[in-house]
Structure 1
Amino acid sequence: MEKVDDDIDAFIRASSRADELSALDAMIREALPAVDRVLWRGRMWGGTDQAIIGYGAIRQPRPRGPGVEWFLVGLAEQKRHLSVYVNAAEDGAYLVQTRASRLGRVKVGAAAVTFGSVSDLDAGEFRSLLVRSHELDAGAQASGTQGRPS
């Protein structure tokens, strides 16, 4: 995937779920003040074409080869659900995994939270997750260690 210069607000307005994407975008931007947002487009590792709004910038380590530029938090509309990717880890595990039971009616992958509607998400816990990811990112930037859990 790569960054593109598309207008993010126009991208959100053009979505079939514009109201929900707009609400999630507002929550993320409130929790991550002064963090840049950029649209990423391309093929994800699983082989599907994606468009993801990325918030913040990290250097994501890869198992083999050099790390890649990536986002701290990503927001995407899928065919049947919404996805939020949180690329922050604490105590050897991605934050979304350690907080899965508190996030509401969601499914959790390695670093992804998926849900059918914004109303399925526990907004307070989601905000707490975002704030903690920002704190961890700031600490990782200061120490030079970012990205995947150990």
Structure 2
Amino acid sequence: MERSDLDVDDFLASVEGPRGDDLRALDRIISNELAGLERVLWTGPMWGGTDQRIVGYGGISQPRPRGASVEWFLVGLAAQQRHLSLYVNAADGGEYLVRRHAAELGRVKVGSAAVTFGSLADLDEPALRALLRRARELSPEAS
């Protein structure tokens, strides 16, 4: 994936229906909690998979198991075909925050650094906000 010059707000406006409404509401929550950090639309294949458009908030240099580190986003938000995805690329004590706080986040599925859910109503908003604040605290960009 690469940073694009595409307008984030235009992208968010292009997503229709309830999923678009949830995406825009989540963008407001994330933008509020990560105020002052960059907000960029990332496009392209995600780690060799399907083409994605992800709103990225903040920036990090993420080490890769093989090869050089990559520039990446601290938090990412995407609308998939059947669900929404939130990526939180922050770790505390060697464990991704989403794994550490999975039980608090609501009716979600948790991967290494990803949270997937059907709608905003599935997420526990106070737990999400606390997770975002902790990610910000751990971000080198925040210091």
1:69 corresponds to? 71
Give the 5 Å matches for 1:1-150: 1-16=1-16, 17-138=19-140
What RMSD, in angstroms, separates the aligned Cα atoms of the two structures?
1.3
Aligned-partner residue type, residue 35 of structure 1: L
TM-score under structure 1 length normalisation? 0.91
Q: What percentage of residue pairs aligned between the two structures are identical?
A: 60
1:33 deviates by 1.1
Distance (Å, rounded) in 1 between the aligned partners of 2:20 and 2:46: 22
- Count of matched residue pairs: 141
Aligned-partner residue type, residue 63 of structure 2: P
Structure 1 unaligned spans of 5+? 143-150
Question: Which stretches of structure 1, 4 residues or longer, exceed 3 Å deviation after superposition?
Answer: none
Per-residue Cα deviation, 1:123-143 (whole angstroms, up to 9, x for no partner): 0000000000000113x876x
Distance (Å, rounded) in 1 between the aligned partners of 2:133 and 2:99: 16
Distance (Å, rounded) in 2 between the aligned partners of 1:29 and 1:45: 25
1:145 corresponds to? none
1:47 deviates by 1.1
Structure 2 unaligned spans of 5+? none
Q: Secondary structure at the match of 1:97?
A: helix
TM-score under structure 2 length normalisation? 0.95
